[in-house]
Structure 1
Amino acid sequence: MRHPDDGRREVALLIETSKTFGRGVLEGVARYTRTCGNWTILTDERGLDDSLPPWLKRWQGHGILLRTSRPDVLNAARRLKTPAVFLGETLADAMPTLKSDDQAIIDHLASHLLDRGFKRFAYVGLEGKEWSNRRRDFLIKRLAAESLPCELFEFKPRQGRYDTLPRQQDRLVRWLRTLTPPVAIAACYDVMGLRVLNACRLAGIAVPEQAAVIGVDDDVLLCELANPPLTSVAHDLERIGFEAAALLQNLMNGAKQPRRPIQIVPRGVTTRQSTDVLAIDDELVAQAVQIIRRQACEGIQVQDVARQLRCSRVTLNRRFSTIFSRTVKQEILRLQIDRCRQLLQETDFTLQRIAGLAGFRHPEYMSVVFRRETGRTPGQYRRATKSNG
């Protein structure tokens, strides 16, 4: 029996509570319901591979937020004819989909590794997984633009299940030993990142000195359990949940579903020990990078870097540009703009305060540089990237 139409919507949350991703998404849904949604929530403890709950077939609620790894569950949810939003990493035909932006994930990941001077790269994925293949292809394309190759390894399925972990780990160890250090290894997600770190230990490969390893998901527990702790790209999980809830509300109000998946950019890279290294042969440039990273947002100038290194600006810029194809000033500004982006997205600080924290003397100059580098004013960027509400 359908509940009385008092304006309150009954929504089923079929999102896993067993993983960091699902719990982060649920935080965003909770924020939406507190601020915007007149919802009654129906949920239960779930895993990503669980079937639909039996009560759902008789349920006469108003909307569903669904996250699952099973095609049969996705198809069964479609047949219910209830407004629904899918939050999976696959692309769901005929159901509105909201997901993390894989290309933006790889942009963050690749930039993090390229900024450390790596010239050799590898990717470890899961064969047959659509999301893993997308990330692999985006990484290959990004590196090709830099004329850099990428070695590939994939865990292979056998009879519908992944091969036994010890056997797969042995294959991974043998493959890692074929790579020439120093090499940067991108894992398709954090669980695979831990497997890569374990395989590096078994292969006698020092991390991060010989191989830097980065994952995706920024599952803090897994990343901190790793030895050494795993660097990872962090999704904006709360925003994914908030925007999915807002989309579902619109669908329940009769709006047309979007034609394309809605993609949410990640928060960025959480740097840990597994990539805390510089793969730069030129010691002068390596020292310059360390100085710039520490002091870019303190207002450091090119002459300050040269003075600390006891070399001329001309020499510093020539050797820096040879490795990074940009000047020292451009590198300082890049880090300052990255800091501005972070503060605009994560805080409500005034432009004057953001300018000071990013190393700019005047907010007006910061705004000019920000627009030149990003194509948007700070205000436009903040409105585009922060969740509504």
Structure 2
Amino acid sequence: MPKSRRVAIMLDLRWPLKRHADIFAGTQRYAAEKGWESVIDEYVAEHLLEQPKQARLYDGVIGRIPARLAELQSRFPIPLVNIWFNSPVRAPLPGVFHDAAAVGRLEAEHLLARGLRQFAVLTRKDKAQLEQAAAFRAVVSEAGFPCIVERLPLVPSRSYATWKKTERLIDSWMDHWQPPIGVSICTEVMGRLVVQLCRRRGWRIPGDVAIVAGMNEETLCTHPRPSLSSVEIGYERIGYEAARLLDQLMHQQSLRSRSKKRLSHLQPSARKPSQPPHLILPPQGMIVRESTDFYAVEDKLIAQALEFIASHSHLPINCDTVAESLHVHTRTLQRRFRQVLDRPIADEIRRVRTERAKRELIQSDRSLTEIARDVGFSDRMQLYEVFCREVGVTPSHYRKQRRLAESLATSPHPTP
């Protein structure tokens, strides 16, 4: 059999970023509802300065607002809505942002639920990611477990020398790990690097290292294997709510302008400036993929049973099959399962099959019959019944829900 080839892919995978594309899609959905004209302009400040004083270039601006544009607001009183978490003018401007602390808590709770007792965080010197890492560490520390934190440069791939330094930093951080360990990693690209470094050490993913990485950039999360579990932020909602907030601000400014004209003969009253509105949106949820699809236990027999189920769930296995593979009586294994995991063997088999069905529904266009067969359900109807009971929606509805974010990112006027 020929040796498997190893192929390098040289692409600048930083752009386009999902957080930019999805936020843009959200603004366009609201713009379509209101009949707005949208103009893509990365140099609003410069264009404002070039315009004649009486000309009105824009009625409002949504975006990654820099300090220079905020400073011009006294000369050009245009409502601004910021969506840039790390903006230097985040505090004084209205804005809509994701809840970074909630992301960190969600990741920690997910890995704790996998039975892990050792944790590590790889973050960058970035306000959002530092806040996320702090929340992750707080949750696992409150649960009584250690967490090793490493901070990377803001741009780890600035140059080859910086990248090598980053790799050495991560390698040194990993020297302190005690697998099995749950790891939160700032980006999908860094997640892929950690996967490679784990393989050099002979560590299995997720058997030795369970990884949650990035903000669900689907292509980088799903390829190459193992696929990476990640948090879906819901950036499209941020864009939509930013547009809604801008609409309110533009309406308020219009009312103030008309009121000012009517009362221009009166003495102006001293009014204390109000705090700018900030809307903080929670993440939509954890997208579980192969990198965390396991359960860590100290009981060797149960660990072997879980590994057998993970490797053979696509086959017609049951409680007896698992017990036979470990050369123990079914009743003995069932009792140990309940003692250690507080659930029967059949529940774990069903859980693994359901998680794999979820991934197939998202990542392929295959029929329910094909998916049911390949993940271990007896037929399409069994998949349907189990999925509805465990997930709360039909497989088809789940597929539509999970693909909505992707379709919004590629359509200029997504359907609400």
Same fold (TM over 0.5): yes
Aligned to 1:152: 149
In 2, the alpha carbon distance for the partners of 1:17 and 1:54 equals 24
Q: Is the 8 A contact 1:182 1:210 kept in 2?
A: yes
Match of 1:55 among 47, 56, 70: 47
In 1, the alpha carbon distance for the partners of 2:100 and 2:308 equals 29
Is 1:261 equivalent to 2:253 in the alignment? no
Q: Gaps spanning 5+ residues in structure 1: where? A: 1-15, 296-303, 322-326, 343-353, 363-387
Q: Is the 8 A contact 2:31 2:38 kept in 1?
A: no
Is 1:39 equivalent to 2:47 in the alignment? no
Is 1:279 equivalent to 2:309 in the alignment? no
In 2, the alpha carbon distance for the partners of 1:77 and 1:101 equals 28
In 2, the alpha carbon distance for the partners of 1:238 and 1:115 equals 28
- Change over 3 Å in CA distance of 1:194–1:17 after alignment to 2: closer
- Change over 3 Å in CA distance of 1:77–1:106 after alignment to 2: farther
In 1, the alpha carbon distance for the partners of 2:181 and 2:237 equals 33
Is 1:140 equivalent to 2:142 in the alignment? no
* Matched letter for residue 42 of structure 1: V
Alpha-carbon distance, 1:276 to partner: 2.6
Which secondary structure does the structure 2 equivalent of 1:181 belong to?
A: coil
Is 1:66 equivalent to 2:63 in the alignment? yes
- The size of the alignment, in residue pairs, is 306
- TM-superposition CA deviations, 1:324-380 (whole Å, max 9, x none): xxx78xx99xx9xxx9xx9xxxxxxxxxxx9996429x9xxxxxxxxxxxxxxxxxx
In 2, the alpha carbon distance for the partners of 1:26 and 1:258 equals 26
- Change over 3 Å in CA distance of 1:52–1:73 after alignment to 2: farther
Is 1:359 equivalent to 2:376 in the alignment? no
Higher relative contact order, chain-length normalized (CA < 8 Å, sep 6+) = 2
Alpha-carbon distance, 1:318 to partner: 3.6
Over the matched positions of the two proteins, sequence identity in percent amounts to: 22
Aligned to 2:222: 224
- Change over 3 Å in CA distance of 1:254–1:236 after alignment to 2: same
Q: Which of structures 1 and 2 has the bigger CA Rg?
A: 2
In 2, the alpha carbon distance for the partners of 1:228 and 1:284 equals 23
In 2, the alpha carbon distance for the partners of 1:257 and 1:98 equals 17
- TM-superposition CA deviations, 1:23-60 (whole Å, max 9, x none): 1111111211222x23111115x6xxxx6563243353
- Change over 3 Å in CA distance of 1:316–1:213 after alignment to 2: closer
Alpha-carbon distance, 1:210 to partner: 1.9
Which secondary structure does the structure 2 equivalent of 1:117 belong to?
A: coil
Alpha-carbon distance, 1:198 to partner: 3.4
What TM-score, normalized to structure 2?
0.61
Alpha-carbon distance, 1:227 to partner: 4.5
Aligned to 1:166: 164
In 2, the alpha carbon distance for the partners of 1:280 and 1:273 equals 18
In 1, the alpha carbon distance for the partners of 2:204 and 2:48 equals 51
Cα-Cα RMSD: 4.1
- TM-superposition CA deviations, 1:291-312 (whole Å, max 9, x none): 9xxx9xxxxxxxx999x97448
- Change over 3 Å in CA distance of 1:289–1:182 after alignment to 2: closer
Alpha-carbon distance, 1:246 to partner: 0.6
* Matched letter for residue 359 of structure 1: R
Which secondary structure does the structure 1 equivalent of 2:122 belong to?
A: strand
Is 1:20 equivalent to 2:18 in the alignment? yes
Higher strand proportion (structure 1 or 2): 1
In 2, the alpha carbon distance for the partners of 1:62 and 1:108 equals 38
In 2, the alpha carbon distance for the partners of 1:257 and 1:223 equals 42
In 2, the alpha carbon distance for the partners of 1:319 and 1:137 equals 30
* Matched letter for residue 185 of structure 1: V
* Matched letter for residue 138 of structure 1: A
In 2, the alpha carbon distance for the partners of 1:224 and 1:164 equals 27
In 2, the alpha carbon distance for the partners of 1:217 and 1:266 equals 10
- Change over 3 Å in CA distance of 1:169–1:73 after alignment to 2: farther
Aligned to 1:320: 341
* Matched letter for residue 274 of structure 1: S
Match of 1:248 among 236, 246, 249: 246
Aligned to 1:81: 77
In 1, the alpha carbon distance for the partners of 2:32 and 2:151 equals 43
Alpha-carbon distance, 1:258 to partner: 6.4
Alpha-carbon distance, 1:204 to partner: 4.3
- 1:120-131 alignment runs, 5 A limit: 120-127=118-125, 129-131=126-128
Alpha-carbon distance, 1:238 to partner: 1.5
Q: Is the 8 A contact 2:229 2:289 kept in 1?
A: yes
* Larger displacement relative to structure 2 (280-289 or 54-63): 280-289
Aligned to 2:86: 90
Q: Gaps spanning 5+ residues in structure 2: where? A: 1-13, 254-272, 324-329, 359-383, 393-414
* Matched letter for residue 151 of structure 2: E
What TM-score, normalized to structure 1?
0.65
In 1, the alpha carbon distance for the partners of 2:177 and 2:386 equals 44
